[in-house]
Amino acid sequence: MPSLSQILPKQSPLLLIDAASERIQVGLLCAGSGPRWSSRREEAGVGVFECIEELDVEIAALGAFAFCEGPGSILGIRTSAMAIRIWTTLAPRPVFGYASLAVVAAAEARPGATVIADARRGHWHRLLPGGSLGRVPASELSGDLVMPEGFRHWDPLPAGTRAAPYDLAALFDLPAVAGSDLFRESASPDAFLHQEPSYAKWTPQIHRAP
């Protein structure tokens, strides 16, 4: 898994889209020059494209894309992924996905801290040692718990949970984050799932009166 510092020298400029939180964040990153960022507090279908317009991004000139694949807002993440799939269908380019919780963990660098996000129905996403993601019930969470700012939660926060900044302009400016192996190449951009959904089979039948 490459780091941002490894990707940029080879595949600039890179458009990074993160719609996992309540704050849409879009960055135009290029090796040898300072990054430019834009953000919006709107729904992703509007906010992502307003950010791109503000940054005056020329899609055809981009060398690669990056996006947050989760955990976070499924609608926001899938809106970002859909746009990237369209752009790369028109002109193939590398796409890199990263996990929101892994970015926070790299910035925190606190031994024993566990980064979490709501997974609904009494369960929470938890970053495991080694960078993989698990989904556990709230009863299994304890200790030093960290949740990114701006991430929605439907259940009460586990006891002792503290908020961590989720300002990507500041986070990716940290050497510990920019140099961490956070990215993976994604052939088909989409939201992160712990497992593929399964569907019950239904056999259609003609309705008959009793």
Q: Give the contacts of 175 (CB within 8 A, at least 6 positions apart).
A: none
Q: What is the pLDDT of residue 69?
A: 95
Number of domains in the chain: 1
The predicted structure's pLDDT at residue 130: 74
pLDDT at 204: 73
Structural domain contains residue 157: yes
Q: Give me the pLDDT at residue 13, please.
A: 97
Q: So what's the pLDDT on residue 199?
A: 44
Q: Which amino acid is at 198?
A: S
Output the domain CATH number for residue 72.
3.30.420.40
200 part of a folded domain: no
Residue 190 covered by a domain? no
> What residues in the chain have per-residue pLDDT under 70?
194-202, 207-210
Q: In which domain, by residue range, is 99 found?
A: 4-185
Is pTM beyond 0.85 here? yes
pLDDT of res. 128: 83
